[in-house]
Amino acid sequence: MRVEQIAVFLENKSGRLAEITRILAENDINIRALSVADTADFGILRLIVDKVDAAKKSLQEGGFTVGKTNVIAVEVPDRTGGLASVLKTANEAGLNVEYMYAFVNKSAEDAVLIFRFDEMDKAIEVLQQGGFVLLSGPQICAL
């Protein structure tokens, strides 16, 4: 099960992240999860939002370079070893994690791990066979 994520490329300077969140708020787009990675010159903001196409369009209209990619959302119990169990399964299958980020669903007792693997189809198959719960975009937005 794949989840659509947007990636926004931004200059590493003051106010750019605030501008992105302002645009999303003005367009009634809710951020469900995010990750920021940076270098000296630019950053990549990865977002899971409730309205992917509207977010992409509004940010492009705001002058940002935006891409759309697929990730996998894995729900695990929020306890010691949750992440380790997913990574053990992925490693045993020869999968490489390109990047990941996570958030905790405080209304439940689970954490959600967002992964980009080198082999997405294989990762979905391996994780489902391993008994892991994969979430859809609408399921993440409902948390």
Give the pLDDT score at 104: 81
Greatest CA separation for the chain: 45
Q: Are 24 and 58 in contact (CB under 8 A)?
A: yes
Higher pLDDT, 126 or 1: 126
Confidence at residue 123, expressed as pLDDT on a 0 to 100 scale: 97
Region 3-69: CATH code: 3.30.2130.10
Give the mean pLDDT of the chain: 92
Task: Work out the pLDDT band at 122, boundaries 50, 70, 90.
Answer: very high
Tell me if 3-69 shares its fold with 71-142: yes
What CATH code would you report for 71-142?
3.30.2130.10
Q: What's the pLDDT at 78?
A: 84
Give the span between the Cα atoms of 45 and 125, in whole angstroms. 28
Quote the pTM value: 0.89
User: Structural domain boundaries of the chain?
Assistant: 3-69, 71-142
